[in-house]
Amino acid sequence: MINLRLIRYNKYTDSNVEWLGEIPAHWSVTRNKDIFEERGSLSSTGDETLLTVSHITGVTRRSEKNVNMFMAETMEGYKHCSKGDLVINTMWAWMGALGTTNENGICSPAYGVYKPRKYQTYNHRYFDYLYRTPNAITEMTKNSKGIVSSRLRLYPKDFFQIKTALPPVREQRAIANYIDTKTAQIDKEMHILTQKVVHYDKLKQVLINETVTNGLDKAVDMRGSDIEWIGEIPKHWEVKRIKDIAKSTNGGAFKHDLVDVGLPIIKIQQLTLRSVARDFCDPNSHKIKNNNKLESGDLVFSWSTLIAPFIYKGESAVLNQHIFKITHSDRINKKWIYYKLLQSTDRLKVFAHGSTMQHILKSDFDNLEIETPPLSEQIEIAVYLDDKTKNIDSIVNTINTKIKKLKELRVSIINDAVTGKMNVTQDEKEAA
């Protein structure tokens, strides 16, 4: 259980700063230019530890990140960073790519590096938490320059004009320590719950694999399939190619038919992230055909990223390119082929091309050989798996709800602590 000291300060005042709201009366509000100044020194050798900035992890060593971006031949001329400096990715500040560093090193010349002024009391962990709150990131975005979000830049002169809450330094330290303790507790609970989700996901996959491979009758006679990667199958089952039992058709390319209001275009992002469609197609476009028109209940599969098959649930839409729509014959049960393709995704990777984004050819997909039971048995398998996976999904959803609430609690604790909405100091009189 996460125990919180929901204690307010004795007296508050309006900060007159929208993103801060009311703050403890003894805190001050000042511009960043009164706290920070740019660190202007550059590396003469480029041999120091290279640091990078992420909106997820803040400032970390580049060597600890799985980054595929281009590396310069030499890092001579990179900016120096000292422990405690605030480092901001100028191009991604609007996403929260900033934080304070726990060690000395160097960073990209495109970053902003800010050190505390000599006369300023400063606990860098407090500012790391403060500037990565949602409200602070919104404020960074408002002060960034650019036409569209992907082109926004937070330049030093604009960062310096942002107003910031400034508690006494011992309170800064107490707040940072409190957040460290509480977030560590929350992170531990989330890790345990996440491992449970992984366990149930594996359990679900094993259940599907065993059922669509061997059927429900554990005493059935088996025979060799004559195909190495399939092995033995129930004696009365057949081995068929996907194209013998179903038809796969590519989605379309609608980049020249975009409109503000129209049919949603379902892209890979909607399959991987389950996100809402952001692009729309003219419903009268000549490119819309039965093979790329999507209705609720249709089965789709991404051939360019090899993600698991997906049964679409939503309003009428159109499929973008890189996705197959799969229609089956009347001798095939749709839910069974969904489960079979779910189990066969790893098998398809044998035919994959590409390194950064794997994809398969339509011919390889269509010619994939799969174990195929009679229709009546397909229905039995589908009903059985629907029931069993529904129970597992229900457990996973409950766990994910708990994880979501913990994430929200984590954000709330950090925000309330760094903006003084709760008093986290050990001695209330000290902060009164």
Kindly report, residue by residue over 97-135, the tens digit of the pLDDT. 999 999 999 999 999 999 999 877 789 999 999 999 999
Residue 286 is classified by DSSP as T
pLDDT for 19 equals 95
Q: Per-residue confidence at 221, pLDDT binned at 50, 70, 90?
A: very high
pLDDT at position 432? 43
Q: By the 8 A CB rule, do 306 and 272 touch?
A: no
- Output the pLDDT for position 24: 96
With a pLDDT cut of 90, the percent of the chain lying above it is 59
The reported pTM is 0.79
CATH 3.90.220.20 applies to domain 28-166: yes
CA proximity to 107, closest of 47, 38, 67, 52: 52
| Residue reference for tokens 């320590």 | 177
The CATH-assigned architecture of domain 216-372 is Alpha-Beta Complex (3.90)
Q: What average pLDDT score do residues 394-416 get?
A: 96
Tally of CB atoms within 10 A around 378: 23
Report, as an integer, the average pLDDT of 219-238. Answer: 91
Task: Please write the tens of the pLDDT for every residue from 171-205.
Answer: 999 999 999 999 999 999 999 999 999 999 999 99
* Residue bearing the bigger pLDDT, 279 or 50: 50
The pLDDT tens digits for 15-32 are 999 999 999 999 999 999
- CA dist 12 and 294 (Å) reads 56
| pLDDT score for 37 | 95
pLDDT of residue 106: 95
The domain segmentation of the chain, as residue ranges, is 28-166, 216-372
pLDDT grade for 348, boundaries at 50, 70 and 90? confident
Q: Is the dihedral of CA 414, 416, 420, 423 positive or negative?
A: negative
- For 31, 72, 216, the CA distances from 112, given in Å and listed in that order, are 17, 18, 62
Q: Supply the DSSP symbol for 76.
A: T
Asked if 252 and 319 touch (Cβ cutoff 8 Å), the reply is yes
Q: Does the fold of domain 216-372 match that of domain 28-166? A: yes
**pLDDT at residue 151, rounded to an integer:** 81
